[in-house]
Structure 1
Amino acid sequence: MSKGVGGLGVRRLQEFNIALLGKWCWRCLVDREGLWFKVLSSRYGEQRGRLREGGVTGSAWWREIVKIQNGIGVEGGSWFEESISKRLGNGFNTFFWSDCWVGTVSFMERFRRLYDLSIHKDLSVGEMHALGWGEDGEAWRWRRRLLAWEEELVVEIRNLLTNVTLQDTQPDVWLWQPNIGDGYTVRGVYQMLMRQEVHNHDVVSDAPWHKSVPLKVSICAWRLLRNRWPTKDNLVRRGVITNDTQLCVRGCGKNETIDHLIIHCLIFGDLWQRIKTWIGVFSVDPQQVLDHYYQFVYSSGCYNPRRSFLQLIWLCGIWVLSNERNQRLFTNTARTTVQLLENVKITSLKWLKAKNVCFPFGYHMWWQRPFACLGIG
């Protein structure tokens, strides 16, 4: 017992230290106008718009901060860099080639040949815009004449820039995505890292798999818990669609994210309240999908048959929501929340009957008392 508690205490201390160093990541690596960025820049220099690590001449403190930014040797990978995004203003604090400001990768990585040939490697977005990035703009100046296939890359990059609008009176701003309103806080990051520690194995690894659930449903839930559904915010980050097309498919006016789609959307979120009323389980929905699963399945205790049933119902709800979202998006057809609930009831009963041919109860009993059908109190 003492060993387990001690291990958890050490883990919490490590997460707190990482969160504290993450605060310095924010101040030193993100805030280019801040004092610490200027101090470290004068000490170590800059490379492609970023501070140099310093190698063996750098302090251990500075090397740890760089590791956290790059996700090296830190559990959870590049959680810091994945949690920040740039809101473009006038573009003068964002490097055109080396910063990730359109899509999920920088132009330097996506158009490496053009970057190597460009004579404007270190200019900002605002400076490139001032030079002109139209068809004959001064921004497109190269060390030699481009080949035909290289000209096609220029056309591609210009097409990506057609929807970019700069705001001359507003500076570029870095945003902390988990909490845009309050920004980066040590407490918020510590809680985020500890939540990952609690859920990563118990939930993400075990939640999708249930003996009565079809494999395709488990794969769907597996992708959901890793935020790998093709929601519109994910498609924007990958450069598949533009920012102005990421509204929820339901038409509620909010951006379509995993958490919004499953929990906060007026139609899809209301389905969970109806499901809980049907099975007689009542709890407050949390803000994130991982917490939603954990609370739905474990809030009524750890009695294994009961937990197994709740897990099956949760997976069924996810499957029904996924299909409904795709129907609305691709066929422009929609069902009411009542119809979605009926689909959950029918689908869950079919799954149980497929695995247990001797299951004696029919639709009427399942509709009224699902726990009694399974002999669960």
Structure 2
Amino acid sequence: MERFNKALMAKWIWRFLTEKDSLWARVVRACKGEMNWDEGGFRIDGHRDMRAGWWKKVLSSIVNEGKPDGWKWKATPNGIFMSKGLDFKRIWKAPTAHKAKTTAWRIMNGKMATVDNLLKRKVPFPNSEHICALCQVPPENTNHLFFSCQKSAEIWYELLSWFGKQSVLQSNAIDQYLAFTNIGHKKDAHFLVGVWICTVWSIWKERNELRFNNGKWDKGKMVADIKSRLWSWKQAYNMNTAPDDFRSWFIAVRLENSASNSDTGMLPSHVS
């Protein structure tokens, strides 16, 4: 979690230095003053920041003298991000329904039949239907529908609260997948990948229900459905699970994982 927080700090400080004309950067400068980098570290209105030494180490690892600044994806030889550079094995091996895994893969690759993708394929849509089916705000695209939408965010936060975790929601599939599935220890990852898959699949099902069947948004029911699907998939993959264990499993996930902020950070063995 410490490394993840530092990575987020580095991301935002980099954006602050490179997106000086953006609205949020102007607001920060108006409230906190100008921030600059020199040999001595970060300075805010001429005063050296107490974390300057750490930031210097961060920037020294990403700034190449004589070369244009940019991002490099370590999973590919040329440094350019490609979805195949992401380890999809954990998704395909997750204890979830195959159709849910397929949906997750399509989300990762931007292949969902959202309004923006359908418009790219020349599928006609009246302007009134360009809105997100969940929050009724345009436009509907993959990143908004699953991660930036206010309604979707409510679901993610409810699930984080369920197993006693905190995380910053990311605005795209790759970042949110990596952030969400790494909020626990390595032994938690198998369970968290399953939760991530189940959540995006459930959001897609809810989207279709609202758009095509005039359904009504019900956050409580949707969170309950996600937990119920996780349990049913667990039973399908683990024949030793007794049908009446749902309540104890539900409480164990919530309570024992809440204690994962301690030394072990382990999900109960019968969950993962």
On the 8 A contact 2:146/2:152 being kept in 1, the answer is: yes
Counterpart Cα distance in 1 of 2:159 and 2:208: 21
Deviates more, 1:236-245 or 1:261-270: 236-245
On the 8 A contact 1:199/1:290 being kept in 2, the answer is: no
- The residue aligned with 1:300 is 184
TM-score (norm 2): 0.62
Q: 1:293 to 1:266 in 2, by over 3 A?
A: same
Alignment of 1:224-263 (within 5 A): 224-242=107-125, 244=127, 245-263=129-147
Counterpart Cα distance in 2 of 1:334 and 1:373: 35
Tell me which of the two structures has the higher relative contact order, counting C-alpha pairs closer than 8 angstroms and 6 or more residues apart: 2
- The residue aligned with 1:358 is 240
Q: Indicate yes or no: 2:215 matched with 1:333.
A: yes
> What is the CA-CA distance between 1:274 and the residue it aligns to?
0.3
Q: Indicate yes or no: 2:227 matched with 1:345.
A: yes
Q: Indicate yes or no: 2:196 matched with 1:314.
A: yes
* Stretches of structure 2 lacking an aligned partner (at least 5 in a row): 1-67, 258-266
> For each residue in 1:178-202, what CA deviation from the matched residue of structure 2 results, as whole angstroms up to 9, or x when unmatched?
xxxxxxxx75xx3386798567335
Counterpart Cα distance in 2 of 1:327 and 1:284: 28
Counterpart Cα distance in 2 of 1:330 and 1:204: 34
What is the total number of aligned residue pairs between the two structures?
Answer: 188
> For each residue in 1:282-310, what CA deviation from the matched residue of structure 2 results, as whole angstroms up to 9, or x when unmatched?
11011211100011002323x2x311010
Q: Indicate yes or no: 2:250 matched with 1:367.
A: yes
- The residue aligned with 2:105 is 222
On the 8 A contact 2:147/2:171 being kept in 1, the answer is: yes
Of the candidates 149, 167, 182, which is equivalent to residue 265 of structure 1?
149
- The residue aligned with 1:77 is none
The CA RMSD measured in Å over matched residues stands at 2.6
On the 8 A contact 1:236/1:246 being kept in 2, the answer is: no
Counterpart Cα distance in 1 of 2:178 and 2:149: 19
On the 8 A contact 1:236/1:243 being kept in 2, the answer is: no
SS at match of 1:333: coil
Larger radius of gyration: 1
What letter matches 2:245 in structure 1?
G
Counterpart Cα distance in 2 of 1:312 and 1:294: 13
Alignment of 1:174-213 (within 5 A): 190-191=70-71, 197=80, 200-201=83-84, 203=86, 205-213=88-96
Counterpart Cα distance in 2 of 1:207 and 1:254: 33
Alignment of 1:87-106 (within 5 A): none
> What is the CA-CA distance between 1:210 and the residue it aligns to?
2.4
Counterpart Cα distance in 2 of 1:269 and 1:343: 16
* Identical-residue share of aligned pairs (%): 21
SS at match of 1:241: coil
